[in-house]
Amino acid sequence: MAGGVLTLTSANFDETVKSATTPVVVDFWAEWCGPCKAIAPVLAEIATEQAGKVTVAKLNVDDHGEVAQRYGIMSIPTLLVFHGGELRKKLVGAKPKAALLAELAEFVPSA
Amino acid sequence: MAAHEVVIIGSGPAGLTAAIYTARASLAPLVIEGEPSSTSDQPGGQLMLTTEVENFPGFPQGVMGPELMLKFREQAERFGATFVTEKATAVDLAARPFKVWVRDTLHEARAVIVSTGARSLMLGLPEETRLIGHGVSTCATCDGFFFRGQHIAVVGGGDSAIEEATFLTKFAETVTLVHRRDTLRASKIMRARATANPKIRFAWNSRVTRILGDAKVEGVVLTDTVSGEERTLEVTGLFVAIGHRPSTDLFVGQVDMHDNGYLKTRPGTSHTNVPGVFACGDVQDSVYRQAITAAGSGCMAAIDCERWLEAQH
């Protein structure tokens, strides 16, 4: 999984977020969401560039709606940042790469 | 650094059509396509927030807006257009070569095609920004899904408001269309579609003056535009479709504009008042504002640009 974007499901979501040794950025997305498609390549780049320092994952809200519901997601794309098993940040809406990196900087100092 | 033959600012149907044509004319266009966002101000433009586009010729079964824009982009790329996925931050069109900055990076160009489009207007209420993503949405196609079985409101009375309201009835229990007048401004077919839809209700002569809820939307306060009376509408979602304004801030004082901010072009052409600067798509069109007319005007801009560049040699 080094450098790749992890696919989360309702089955592996909690375990992945809890056991991760790095901060985990989860992208809540769906096939029918244009802005989600626009940020997917940006997140893939971040996953590669920050490999080992941050885990980038995605969760399809169509297939695993209960996870989205649990976190009160009402808009996609939404990025949730988990660290030490705790939800630390919620970013709503597609953003350019520089803005995403700035938002993640507190979790990944060198980002 | 050598100047580009042409820099295209914006990447909706107009900008990408201009890119396809100028690329095929061996002008190697550089497209400053904008950056990801959840508003219409993003690469691909307003169609990135739509679902099925039913009226673009050549797609009898319809086509998804984002997919259509991806195809436009691929086609431009195939002929040698290159892309910068950021926003132009400043321009200097007073002298040639023209200068276009993307933050600290300067791109020089012999000609510039402006296709920055239009962006959606927001209500401008203080609580609006705070509640984006918590019931206030700028993207019905992105967020409609989360309002299954709920009561929501759409603000606006034009075609895009009705399109949005109709789309949202797929999920919501009721959609109240809040409009400040007592008749819709939308086209006949769209009005008929709205009135025939049992899930759509109307709040006429009403303005949203407050959004209620701390962590998420719990309702909106409507003020009657005639009597001034206030009432509360209990909704969990608010979708704003009150129109657009052209994205022309970059060009203020440099390119002639109409009072409403749309760029002026010489009638029947894409020439602006600045020789070598061309405008196409919604940035110069407050009348038609369709993907196909934007694409058509993008083609005009490319041809005007190519001929103008040739005449400079």
Query: Tens digit of pLDDT for each residue in A23-74?
Result: 999 999 999 898 998 899 999 999 999 999 999 999 999 999 999 999 999 9
- Residue where the block lists tokens 């586009």: B53
Please indicate whether residue A33 is annotated as part of the active site.
yes
Query: A–B: how many Cβ contacts below 8 A?
Result: 88
Q: Do B49 and A92 touch (CB under 8 A)?
A: no
Q: Which of A74, A95, A97 sits opposite B143 (nearest CB)?
A: A74
Nearest CB partner across the interface for B36, out of A39, A62, A75: A39
Element (H, E) at B163: helix B159-168
- Alpha carbon distance B72, B57 (integer Å): 14
Q: Residue B85 has which token pair?
A: 């996925």
Given a cut of 60, whether residue A5 has pLDDT beyond it is yes
Q: Which residue of A has its CA nearest to B217?
A: A74
Contact A67/B at CB under 8 A: no
pLDDT > 90 in chain B, percent: 87
How do B206-212 and B98-102 pair as beta strands?
unpaired
- Please give chain B's pLDDT, 313 residues, in tens: 689 999 999 999 999 999 999 999 999 999 999 999 888 889 999 999 888 888 999 999 999 999 999 999 999 999 999 999 999 999 999 999 999 999 999 999 999 999 999 988 999 999 998 998 899 998 888 899 999 999 999 999 998 899 999 999 999 999 999 999 999 988 899 899 999 999 999 999 999 999 999 999 999 999 999 999 999 999 999 999 998 899 999 999 999 999 999 999 999 999 999 999 999 999 999 989 899 999 999 999 999 999 999 999 7
Contact A33 B44 (CB under 8 A): no
Residues B132 and B128: their CA atoms lie apart, in Å, by 6
d(CA B79, CA A79): 35
What is the distance between the alpha carbons of residues B294 and B297, in angstroms, rounded to a whole number? 5
Tell whether A32 lies on the interface with B, counting CB pairs under 8 A: yes
Residue A35 contacts B, CB cutoff 8 Å? yes
Q: Is A93 on the interface with B (CB under 8 A)?
A: yes
- Asked if the Cβ–Cβ distance from B139 to A35 is below 8 Å, we say yes
How many C-beta atoms surround the C-beta of residue A1 within 10 A?
11
Residues B309 and B144 sit within 8 Å (Cβ to Cβ):
no
Spatial CA neighbour of B263 closest among B4, B5, B9: B9
Task: Give the pLDDT of residue A47.
Answer: 95
CB B161 within 8 A of CB B242: yes
pLDDT given at position A1:
46
Q: How many CB atoms lie within 10 A of CB B68?
A: 22
| CA-derived radius of gyration, chain A | 13
Report chain B's C-alpha Rg in angstroms: 21
| Nearest CA-CA distance, residue B207 and chain A, Å | 24
The reply to whether ipTM tops 0.85 is no
CB contact under 8 A, A38 and B65: no
Statement: residue A17 has pLDDT above 90: yes
Q: Is B139 a catalytic residue?
A: yes
Q: What is the H or E stretch that residue B295 is in?
A: helix B291-312
> A94 pLDDT exceeds 70?
yes
B47 DSSP assignment: G
DSSP state string for B255-276:
S-B-TTSPBP--TTS-B-SSTT
